[in-house]
């Protein structure tokens, strides 16, 4: 039940030495405040990093060729080699764990062109040109702004059609002009624009700026530029219950065997496992969260120890008062309850204020970031989950109980007669 006299006594005790109460409370306030700020900052960093994986198929791997470093079957080291269409068929037929297989042709990757490779009327520019299968858009999804994407019929009939990124549209066409059905010349060959896309994920890119990319049908690009059956790299995803790392390893083994590459020549392949990188990031942020809790709890513990020390001083100052209470019939539990209540009141009040201030600072920071119009790739939506905040508050209250328990035990250990004699 609510005991008005008890709360008046607690208020009077805390008010009797304002500076001491303030300094003690500030230690607790700072501990919970820093814990909330660090958790919010950690969440902001984590949100920004994982936003970079958004919409992209994280169960994917990419494989390309590099120069061999070991001789094999009569072929010298230092040999340049390349995938072909038969390799694509072999992967489909022999590795059943593959869900999506998306070969890509990108013959001018990394070149500056020394000029421009796309022409329309009087406008010229240099863009990334790739030849894809429709499956690639399932690995790296895009938003269709106008028209359509490359489809299987385009591949089969080797149509000279193109899907352009939104930046290509903005730079090669007038603002009110509809690009669908219009023609652009790519390295001397005309292609009809059938679609405009915007990448859903702008952070993960293989081969160039996706907004400044022109996508052609895989087969059309091979024929138009006399590439034969070249394939420059494969993107693969694993089926639901299969390991991407295992699929990647088996693909490399099969491709090495087919192309007479030494099975131990690890340098002959370039490969990137997005699932592996995703798990690395997940492990990194788990470690960061644990570190934040350790540092935050340590800082909070320092404040709680301060509360406990102050309560010991309070008990010593009130020894005679405690003796009087015991002599007129106060039970040990009542004395313990009084001391613990004072401790919890101090820690909880300071802690809730620190919690509220931390949340307010994070909300103001998030509001400023949203309304400034600037996008940060390293910090996104800093904040603290409600459950985490409540957990921190519970930890604080429990800490307050422990902070008052030792002084309370000391208070009841004093015999009433000795307490009455205390000066």
Q: Any idea where the domains of the chain sit in the sequence?
A: 4-53+279-421, 82-258
Is 62 or 298 the better-scoring residue by pLDDT?
62
The H or E element containing residue 100 is strand 98-105
Write phi, then psi, for 109 (nearest 5 degrees): -60, 130
Q: What tens digit of pLDDT does each residue of 289-327 get?
A: 888 888 877 877 777 777 777 777 766 666 666 666 666
Give the closest residue to 201 by CA, choosing from 210, 192, 212.
210
Q: Rounded to whole angstroms, how far apart are CA atoms 281 and 272?
A: 15
Is 135 or 370 the better-scoring residue by pLDDT?
135
DSSP secondary structure letters along 305-321: HHHHHHHHHHHHHTHHH
Give the closest residue to 35 by CA, choosing from 217, 304, 269.
304
| Joined tokens for residue 47 | 């949100």
pLDDT for the residue numbered 111: 47
The full length of the chain comes to 423
- What b/e sequence results for 311-326 when a residue is b if at least 16 CB atoms lie within 10 Å of its CB, and e otherwise? bbebbeebbebbbebb
> What Cα–Cα distance (Å) separates residue 89 from each residue in 41, 64, 85, 106?
48, 16, 7, 19
In the predicted model, is pLDDT for residue 393 greater than 80?
Answer: no
> Average pLDDT over the chain, rounded to whole?
82
Q: Evaluate the CA torsion angle 388, 389, 391, 396 in order and state its sign.
A: positive
SS3 344: helix
Half-sphere exposure of 36 (CA within 13 A, CB side): 31
In the predicted model, is pLDDT for residue 417 greater than 60?
Answer: no
Half-sphere exposure of 119 (CA within 13 A, CB side): 11
174: Cβ contacts below 8 Å, ≥ 6 apart:
none
pLDDT for the residue numbered 1: 44
Q: Rounded to whole angstroms, how far apart are CA atoms 125 and 115?
A: 8
pLDDT for the residue numbered 218: 96
DSSP secondary structure letters along 112-139: -TTS-SEEETTEEE--EEEEE-TTHHHH
Q: What tens digit of pLDDT does each residue of 100-129 get?
A: 999 999 887 544 444 688 999 889 999 999
Q: Rounded to whole angstroms, how far apart are CA atoms 305 and 399?
A: 9
Q: What tens digit of pLDDT does each residue of 339-355 get?
A: 777 777 778 888 888 88
Is 282 or 53 the better-scoring residue by pLDDT?
282
pLDDT for the residue numbered 37: 84
Question: What pTM, to 2 d.p., does this model score?
Answer: 0.69
| Joined tokens for residue 310 | 């102050």
> What Cα–Cα distance (Å) separates residue 419 from each residue in 86, 212, 384?
95, 84, 48
- What b/e sequence results for 60-69 when a residue is b if at least 16 CB atoms lie within 10 Å of its CB, and e otherwise? bbbbbbeebe
């Amino acid at each position: 039940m609510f005991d008005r006299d008890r709360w008046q006594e607690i208020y009077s005790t805390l008010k009797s030495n304002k500076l001491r109460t303030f300094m003690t409370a500030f230690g607790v306030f700072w501990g919970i405040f820093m814990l909330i700020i660090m958790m919010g900052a950690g969440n902001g960093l984590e949100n920004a990093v994982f936003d970079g994986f958004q919409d992209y198929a994280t169960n994917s791997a990419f494989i390309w060729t590099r120069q061999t470093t070991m001789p094999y079957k009569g072929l010298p080291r230092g040999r340049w080699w390349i995938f072909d269409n038969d390799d694509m068929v072999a992967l489909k037929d022999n590795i059943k764990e593959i869900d999506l297989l998306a070969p890509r042709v990108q013959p001018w990757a990394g070149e500056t062109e020394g000029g421009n490779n796309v022409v329309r009327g009087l406008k010229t520019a240099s863009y990334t040109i790739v030849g894809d299968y429709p499956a690639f858009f399932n690995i790296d999804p895009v938003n269709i702004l106008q028209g359509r994407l490359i489809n299987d019929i385009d591949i089969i009939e080797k149509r000279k059609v193109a899907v352009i990124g939104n930046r290509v549209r903005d730079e090669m066409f007038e603002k009110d002009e509809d690009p669908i059905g219009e023609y652009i010349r790519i390295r001397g060959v005309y292609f009809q624009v059938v679609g405009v896309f915007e990448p859903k994920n702008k952070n993960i890119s293989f081969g160039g700026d996706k907004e400044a990319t022109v996508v052609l049908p895989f087969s059309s690009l091979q024929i138009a530029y006399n590439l034969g059956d070249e394939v420059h790299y494969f993107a693969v995803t694993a089926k639901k219950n299969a390991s991407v790392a295992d699929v990647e390893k088996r693909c490399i083994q099969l491709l090495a065997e087919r192309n007479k590459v030494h099975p131990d020549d690890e340098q002959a392949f370039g490969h990137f496992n997005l699932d592996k990188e995703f798990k690395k990031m997940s492990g990194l942020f788990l470690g960061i969260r644990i570190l934040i809790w350790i540092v935050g709890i340590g800082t909070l513990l320092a404040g709680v120890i301060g509360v406990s020390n102050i309560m010991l001083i309070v008990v010593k100052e009130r020894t005679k008062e405690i003796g009087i209470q015991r002599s007129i019939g106060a039970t040990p539990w009542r004395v313990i309850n009084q001391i613990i209540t004072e401790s919890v009141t101090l820690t909880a009040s300071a802690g809730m204020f620190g919690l509220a201030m931390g949340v307010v600072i994070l909300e103001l920071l998030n509001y400023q970031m949203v309304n400034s119009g600037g996008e940060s790739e390293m910090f996104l939506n800093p904040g603290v989950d409600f459950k985490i905040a409540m957990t921190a508050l519970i930890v604080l209250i429990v800490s307050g109980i422990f902070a008052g328990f030792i002084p309370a035990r000391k208070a009841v250990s004093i015999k009433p007669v000795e307490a009455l004699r205390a000066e």
